[in-house]
Amino acid sequence: MTRISEFNRRRLLQLSGAAAATGLFAPAIIGRAAAATQLTIADPGGPFGPAWRKAFYDPFEKATGNKVVNVAREAEPTAQFKAIVETKSYTWDVCTLTLSARDILAKQNLLEPIGFAHADVPKLMPEAISQFWMGTDVYSTVLAYRTDKLKAAPASWTDFFNVEKFPGRRSLRKNPIDSLEQALLADGVALDKLYPLDVDRAFKVLDKIKPHIAVWWTGGAQSTQLIQSGEVDMISGWNARFQAAIDGGTPAKIVWNQGLYSIEGWAIPKGNPKAEAARQFIKFCSNPEQQALFTEVLAYGPTNLDAYKTVPAERAKALPTSPENLKQMAIANEDWWSANRSAVTERFNSWLLS
C-alpha cells in the first residue's frame, strides 16, 4: 500500500502541471505546501467506509495533504442532496450516487461538472462517466445456488424457473426491478433485447413461478442470510452479498450468465465552494491502482479496467467487471425504469397480494 500511495503522490504531482491549464486541479490545492482543504464525503456506510478509506480517502490525504471526512448517506440520498444545494448548506462536498439517482439530480440541475471526460481516462468503462458523475464500482444482480443442495447446477434464469428439472426452495426479490427482467430472460428473451420490457409477458412468466417462491426478500442482508443458512437453495440478488457468504464458507456458487449490472459513483452538489478540491478527489478515484485496492474488501467491480493488472486472478473471478464475467451480462436500463417504475411497482405489489 505504501508503494502504491507513493506512486500516486508522484503521479498526482506530474499530472497537476498539465492539468492546471484546464482547471482540472485547482492551483490552491496542488501541493502539500498549500493550505489543506477538508472534504466531507458521503458514502453508503457499512463496509464501504473502511473499503473506501483504504482505497481512496487515506491515499488521497497522503498524496495531497487534504483531509477527508466520510459520513454515511441515506439509502436514497436525492432529497437530502437537493436540500443541500437549495439551502447552500454544503454538509457534503462529494456523494456516491447510483445511475438512477444521478439522472434524477442531473435533470433538476443539481450537479456540478466533474471537470474531466472519458478521453482523460480511456480505460474507464464508457458507461461510468458523464459530465456530472464518475462511476467507481459496479454491482450485479445474479443467480446464486447452494452447491450442497442441488444435484444439477443451474446455469441460467431458464433453469431457475424450471421447477421440474431443478427442484428446490427458491427466493426472488420483492420488487419488480430485476424480477421482471429475470422472468423475460427465463422465457427466452435475449439479454440485449430486454428493453423496453414486455411487462405483460413478464407477469405471465411470474405467475408460473409464484407458487414456488419460498421467500420474497426485501433487503441485501436478508438475501445473504437466506443462502448462508440454507433456507433456500436458489436465489436472485446482489453479487457482493453472495460473495460475502461464500468467503465466509457457505457452499454456494454465483452464476454470472444473464446478470444485470449497474454502477455507483461520485458527484458534487452544484455550487459547492470546494468544487475544485472535490474534482481533484474524483479524478484521483479514477486511478486503477486505487480501484484495485477496494476489491480486497468488497466484491464490486472496478470501473477502470486497468485495475485488473494488479487484482489477483483468483479475486478477479469474483468481480463483476472482470472480462470473463462482464461479457456474460448487460447493464440495466435506468431510463426505462425511471419512466415506468411507479406504474410497474403498483402492479407488482397488487400481483403479490392476488
DSSP secondary structure string for all residues of 48-71: HHHHHIIIIIHHHHHHH--EEEEE
State the burial class of residue 41 (Cβ atoms within 10 Å of its Cβ: 0-12, 13-18, 19+): buried
What's the DSSP call for residue 95?
Answer: E
Weakest-pLDDT range from 20-24, 127-131, 246-250: 20-24
Q: Under 8 Å CB-to-CB from 3, ≥6 apart: which residues?
A: none
Q: Under 8 Å CB-to-CB from 166, ≥6 apart: which residues?
A: 150, 152, 154, 159, 160, 234
Place of cell 431457475: 160
Residue 220 is predicted with a pLDDT of 87
Q: Do domains 2-138+263-321 and 139-261+327-353 have the same CATH topology?
A: yes
Residue 76: which pLDDT band, with cuts at 50, 70 and 90? confident
The C-alpha angle with vertex 45 and arms to 177 and 321, in degrees rounded to 5, equals 55
Whole-structure pTM value: 0.84
Q: What is the mean pLDDT of residues 302-321?
A: 97
What average pLDDT does the structure give for the chain?
91
Dihedral sign (CA 54, 59, 60, 66): positive
- C-alpha 48/C-alpha 46 separation (Å) is 5
Residue 99 is predicted with a pLDDT of 94
**Cβ(170)–Cβ(209) below 8 Å:** yes
What's the DSSP call for residue 89?
Answer: -
Q: Is 189 helix (H, G, I), strand (E, B) or coil?
A: coil
pLDDT in tens, 202-255: 999 999 999 999 999 998 889 999 999 999 999 999 999 999 999 999 999 999
CATH 3.40.190.10 fits 2-138+263-321, yes or no: yes
Residue 36 is predicted with a pLDDT of 85
Q: Under 8 Å CB-to-CB from 252, ≥6 apart: which residues?
A: 144, 145, 146, 147, 227, 242, 245, 246
Quick one: which of 99, 92, 39 has its CA closest to 64? 39
- C-alpha 71/C-alpha 87 separation (Å) is 19
- C-alpha 158/C-alpha 162 separation (Å) is 6
Quick one: which of 350, 284, 333 has its CA closest to 116? 284
**Cβ(342)–Cβ(348) below 8 Å:** no
Residue 194 is predicted with a pLDDT of 98
Q: What is the mean pLDDT of residues 32-42?
A: 78
- The CATH class of 139-261+327-353 is alpha beta
Say how many C-beta atoms besides its own lie within 10 A of residue 275's C-beta: 20
pLDDT in tens, 333-354: 999 999 999 999 999 999 999 9
- C-alpha 350/C-alpha 341 separation (Å) is 14
Is residue 196 predicted with pLDDT exceeding 60?
A: yes
Is residue 17 predicted with pLDDT exceeding 90?
A: no
Structure-block grid coordinates of residue 46: 457499512
Instruction: Count Cα neighbours of 344 within 13 Å in the Cβ-side half-sphere.
Output: 22
pLDDT in tens, 104-116: 999 999 999 999 9
Residue 177 is predicted with a pLDDT of 96
Domain layout of the chain by residue ranges: 2-138+263-321, 139-261+327-353
**Cβ(224)–Cβ(230) below 8 Å:** no
Residue 31: which pLDDT band, with cuts at 50, 70 and 90? very low
Is residue 10 predicted with pLDDT exceeding 90?
A: no
**Cβ(219)–Cβ(286) below 8 Å:** no
Residue 35 is predicted with a pLDDT of 65
